[in-house]
Structure 1
Amino acid sequence: MTKKLTKPIRVCVLACSYEGSDSELKEYEGDLIQTPQNYFCSEDENYTFHLELIRKATAYRQIRQLVMSGKFDVFYNQCDGAKDEDRAGVEVVEALEEFKVPYTGAIAKYYEMSKPDMKLVAHYYNIATAKYAVLEAGDDIESLCRDLHFPCIIKHISGYSSVGMDKSCKVYDMVQLVDRAKRFMAEYQFALVEEFVSGDEATILACNDSTQPEGGAGVPAGAGDFSRGRGLQALSPQVGFVRRHEVDSGAQG
C-alpha cells in the first residue's frame, strides 16, 4: 500500500494543442489525450493532475499564467513540437527554465538534437551507427553519397514519427536517390541519407536516477514488429505513431 503524503503533489500536465494546426500528426494524434493520470489509481490521494493544452503562439503566456497561479508543484511536459511545426515545443521548455520551476523532459539545449548530432555523440562513445550523408538543397547529391551502399533510406534531419517519409524513401540506386532526395529537400531543405539496415528496431528510454549506482536508469525496451512484409522500418507518420502506441499500450499490462 502506498504511504500517503502530507500534501499531494500537484502535477500540471502540458500537452500540445492541435487547434488550428496543420501538423502531419494531427490526423493520428489530434484526439489523443496524453496524461500520466491514466497510470495512477483514481483513489491515490498523493497526486492531483491538471491537463493544459498549449498552443505554440501563446506558449510563453500560458506557462507564465500557470506558474503565477501557484497551483502546481511540478510540470509534466509532453509538448514535443518540432521547430518547423506549428505545435508547441522548445518554447515551452524555455519558459519553464526562465521561471525556474520543476519540470520533466529535456532541457532546451538538448530538446531537438539533430540526427547527425546524435550520431556524433554515439561515435564519441564508440557506438556504431549506419553510414550516412547530410544533404542540403542545392548540394551535389551524387558526390556526397557516392561512398554509400544501397539500399539507402532518406529521413528528416531531426524529425520523428517518420515525418515526411513514405515507401519511396527507401531507394535502391543513385537515380532513385537523387530524385527522391531532391523532392524531400524541396519540402524540408535538408535530408539525412543512411545506408538501410535490415533487422529489429527498438525504442529505449534512459533518464537520470540518483538512486542508481551510475546515476542513470533505463526502462524496458519496446520492440516494433516489422515482419509483415514491409521491409521499411518507417512508412508514414501513422505507422510511427501506431507502433509507439502499441508499445505503450502493451506496457500497461
Structure 2
Amino acid sequence: MPLPVRYLQVVLDISDNDHQGRMFEHYMHELLPTFMEKPWPGWELFLSAQRTPSRVPSTEPDDRDYKSYLHIWRLRDYNSLPYLMEYFDDDEVYRNLNAMVLRETQELTGAMVYNPQNNMPSFRPPEGTRFFLYTEMNMVQSPEVLSEYRTFMIDAANDPSSPLSEAFDWRMVQGTYSQTGRLRRYITIFSTSSPLPQAQEAIDWLFEQPEVQNAVVGGKDGIVWKLYEPISYLNEQ
C-alpha cells in the first residue's frame, strides 16, 4: 500500500521592504539543498510562493506592513519535523532567516482524493505559472454532502472543459484537508498562466455550484482566498 500523501504548509511573514525580501530569498537559496538532502531525505518543497498585499488581492484585510511567503513541503514522515527543527537550530543561516520572520503559521495537511499528486507523484505546478489561487473552506459535518463535494472536485480537477479551466484558466495543483488547527477545513490551490487572473470570477462560479454551496459553512463569505505569485529559490533573483 502506498504511503499517504502528506504536507507541511508554512506561511512566513516578514517586513515588506525590498532589502528584507532579498535577504530572505538569499537565505532560502542557501538552506534549500540542506532541507532536501540531509539529515532526513524525504522532504520536498512542492510549492513556494510570495504575496505582497499591495500587489495582489484577497478576501482578508490587507496588512501592508508584511510580505508573506507560502511554503508547502511534501513529507514522508511527520515525526521527522521536531528533529529537523532541532538540527537547524544550530545552523547560522537558518537562525538569520528565522530572525527575520515576524509571524509564522504551520499546518499539517493530508491529501484529498482529488489531489493531483495522489496518482502522479511526479506532478508539480506547471511551468509558466503566473499566479496561485489559494482557497480555504470550512466544511459541514454531513458525510453525504461532503461526498458530493468531493465528487464535484474530482470532475473540476480532471475535466479540461470545466469552466474553472476553460473559462477562468485555473487548474488545480493541490487539494488537502487540515490535520491540525480547525478540522474539516479544506485547502485547494489552483494555478494560472494568465497575467490577469480571474480570481473573484472563479470563486463566484464555484459557489454557484450546489455541491459547493451545500458544503461550505458560512455561505460565500466562508470561502477565504488569496493570490500568490510563484518564487523559486534554486536560482537567486
| TM-score bracket for the superposition, by shorter chain length | under 0.3
- In our comparison, the structure showing a higher alpha carbon Rg is 1
* The structure with more strand, counted as a fraction of residues: 2
TM-score under structure 1 normalisation?
Answer: 0.23
* RCO comparison, higher one (Cα < 8 Å, 6+): 2
TM-score under structure 2 normalisation?
Answer: 0.24
